[in-house]
Amino acid sequence: MAGQSGSQLSLFTPDEVEFMAEDELVEIVPNLRMDSLNFICGDYGPFYPQIAIQVPLWLALALKKRGKCTIRPPQWMSIDNLTQVLEGERESHAFQSLPFHYVEISRLLFDHARDDIPEIYMARSLVEDIRDVRFHKVETNLENFTASAVTWKNMAAMEVNIIRAFSGRALQAFYRHENEQLIPDLDRTQDRQPQNLNDRPRRNLRPR
């Protein structure tokens, strides 16, 4: 089975996925007055003390580290909501709706904005529980992976990342078996491609 740690099987490393998640917007409450910041990804600001504003997660974390803001945990990270989601996750077969990058966002916030999250231990254990339940679900889903239509709604980035390479190749395999005579040499080319992707030189992202 595609293990959670099988980074060689997945397309991106968890670090890379986290990097992508840093573009998500979060709300911060700055404690300084600062003019607009103009970035390639857009303009943010101007910042006024005690007035909430949306910025990308990376900027929020950068400001937070300098003690220039507090991060307002997103709505879905409330204990209420997480409890509800966990319950739903446990009770139903489907994935509950959570932000695409919930694993990464919650991790970054738990690591860097500890003092801004009310009841952080509770929230953290709930998120971890949710993640475990969902990863387990992903794995069980993979067990009954068939060539027929596969619809998994609400999967998050990390979860997709785990099964991306596997499911792609599995589908190709199914396809190949069905149309063996039509495309005899497909497997070689198809096989090589993900291999190439996986073998590309990886740049280690600078840890935060």
Partner 1 sequence: MKIRTLKLREAHKPSAAYGAANGSSFCSILWDQQARHLVTASSSDSGISIHDALLPSTTPKILRHHRDGVTALALSPNSTCLASGSIDNSVKLYKFPGGEFETNITRFTLPIRALAFNQSGSMLAAAGDDDGIKLINTVDGSIARVLKGHKGSVTGLAFDPMGEYLASIDSMGTVLFWELQSGTILHTLKGVAPNTGLDTSLVNILSWSPDGEMLAVPGLRNDVVMYDRDTAEKVFTLRGDHLLPLCFLSWSPNGKYMATSSLDRQVLIWDVLKKQDIDRQKFEDRICCMAWKPVGNTLAVVDVSGKYGLWESVVPSSMKSPTEDIPQSSKKSNGLLLFEEEGQEPCSSGSLGDNGEDSIGESGPPSRKRIRKRSEFDEDRSTENTIDDYGLLPQRMAPKRAREQLDKGANEELRSTAISVRSKMQEAFQPGVTPVQPGKRRFLCYNMLGTITTMEYDGYSHIEIDFHDTSRGPRVPAMTDHFGFTMACLNENGSVFANPCKGDKNMSTLMYRPFSSWANNSEWYMRFEGEEVKVVALGVHWVAAITSLNYLRIFTDGGLQKHILSLDGPAVTASGSKNRLAVVTHASNCLPSNDQVLEFHVFDIRNGTRPSRGRLPLSPGSHLIWFGFSEEGLLSSYDSKGVLRVYTSQYGGSWLPLFSANKTKKSDENYWVVGLNASKLFCIVCKSPEVFPQVMPKPILTLLDLSSPLASSDLGADVLENEFILNNLHLFQIQKRIEESSSDGRDTTELDDEAFSTEAAQDRCILRLIASCCNSDKLVRATELVKLLTLEKSMKGAIKLVTALKLPNLADRFNNILEERMLNETKDMSEAAGVAVNQGSGLGRNGTSSEVSSEPSCIPSSSTTLSAPHFVKKVVNRGAQKGRSDHNQTAREVQPEAATSGGSAELRTTAAAGNQETSRTSNPFLKSSSNHEGAAKEAMCQRPPSNPFKKSVK
Nearer to partner 1, 83 or 198 (CB): 83
Number of residues that bind partner 1 (CB under 8 A): 18
Using the rule CB under 8 A, give the single segment among 72-80, 136-144, 158-166, 189-197 that binds partner 1: 72-80
* 77 neighbors 106 (Cβ within 8 angstroms): yes
Using the rule CB under 8 A, give the single segment among 29-37, 102-110, 135-143, 166-174 that binds partner 1: 29-37
CB crowding 72-106: b at 16 or more within 10 Å, else e: bbbebbbeebbeebbeebeeeeebbebbbbbbbbb
Q: Which of 8, 40, 43, 80 binds partner 1 (CB under 8 A)?
A: 80
Our finding on whether 94 is near partner 1 (CB under 8 A) is: no
Instruction: Give the other-Cβ count within 10 Å of 123's Cβ.
Output: 21
Our finding on whether 51 is near partner 1 (CB under 8 A) is: yes
Instruction: Give the other-Cβ count within 10 Å of 60's Cβ.
Output: 30
CB-facing half-sphere around the CA of 146: CA atoms within 13 A? 3
* Interface positions, 120-179, toward partner 1 (CB under 8 A): none
Binding site for partner 1 (CB under 8 A): 29, 31-33, 48-52, 67-68, 70, 72, 79-80, 83, 87, 118
